[in-house]
Copies of this chain bind each other. A is one copy, B any other.
Amino acid sequence: MSPSPAKSDVTLIAERITNAVMEHRLPPGVKLAEERLAEAFKVSRTKIRHALTVLAKEGLVTLYPNRGAFVASPSTQDARDLFATRRLLEAEVVRSVIARATKADLRKLRAHITKESEARLANDRRAVIKLSGEFHMLLARIGGNRYISKLMDELCPLTCLIISLYDSPHTPACPEDEHIRIVEAIERQDEATATRLMLEHLQHVENELKLSPQDKVDIDWDRMFA
Residues in chain A within 8 A of chain B (CB atoms): 5-6, 8, 50, 53-54, 57-59, 65, 78, 81-82, 84-85, 88-89, 92, 144-148, 150-151, 155
The dominant DSSP class at the A interface is helix
Interface hub of A54, A59, A92, A146 (most chain B Cβ within 10 A): A146
Q: Please name the residue on chain B nearest to A151 by beta carbon.
A: B151
Tell me the minimal C-beta distance from A226 to chain B in angstroms. 29
Q: How far is the CA of A85 from the CA of B143 in the complex (A)?
A: 12
**Integer count of this chain's copies in the complex:** 2
Q: How far is the CA of A59 from the CA of B58 in the complex (A)?
A: 12
Instruction: Report chain B residues within 8 Å CB of A54.
Output: 53, 57
Tell me the minimal C-beta distance from A203 to chain B in angstroms. 16
With beta carbons under 8 angstroms apart, the residue of B8, B50, B148 that contacts A85 is B148
Q: How far is the CA of A146 from the CA of B158 in the complex (A)?
A: 13
Q: Please name the residue on chain B nearest to A84 by beta carbon.
A: B145
Instruction: Report chain B residues within 8 Å CB of A88.
Output: 88-89, 92, 148
Q: How far is the CA of A5 from the CA of B5 in the complex (A)?
A: 37
